[in-house]
Amino acid sequence: MIAKGGPHLTPTKAVHFPGFRIRVSSGEMRGENWSMPQLAKYLAPAAGFPVVNRTGITGSYDIGFSYAPNSEADSTLPSLNEALKEATGLLLKPQRVPVETLVIDAVQKIPTAN
């Protein structure tokens, strides 16, 4: 979701393939040439729930911010949502939306000859 004041994203200057220079770890997200669907994909593990891009924003951007993982009370860093808002002008907004899910009913191990 786009925050009040609109997005303030930095268009990519990268000449590399989309998603180049990905640095996604607990408390940090940095990358070049990211699309909004890629950002949503990388946000999901940090948010702890599926993230769906509904911004309508196209293009590729260089994105980077640090945040307090797991809402650590003693951290001087902002929460994930606050860091995202400050860095990009975007927000995570809880909604019920359909998401693609893969269900595996059963697995059978069938021996094969060498």
Convert the pLDDT of each residue in 27-66 to its tens digit.
899 888 889 999 999 999 888 888 999 899 999 898 899 9
| pLDDT of residue 109 exceeding 90 | no
Higher per-residue confidence, 2 vs 77: 77
Which pairs from 32-38 meet CB under 8 Å and 24+ separation? Answer: 32/62, 33/60, 33/61, 33/62, 34/60, 34/61, 34/62, 34/63, 35/59, 35/60, 35/61
pTM to 2 decimal places: 0.75
Q: What pLDDT was estimated at residue 73?
A: 67
Residue 70 has pLDDT above 80, yes or no: no
**DSSP strands (E only) in the chain:** 10-11, 23-25, 28-34, 61-66
As a whole-number percent, the residues of the chain with pLDDT over 70 amount to: 89
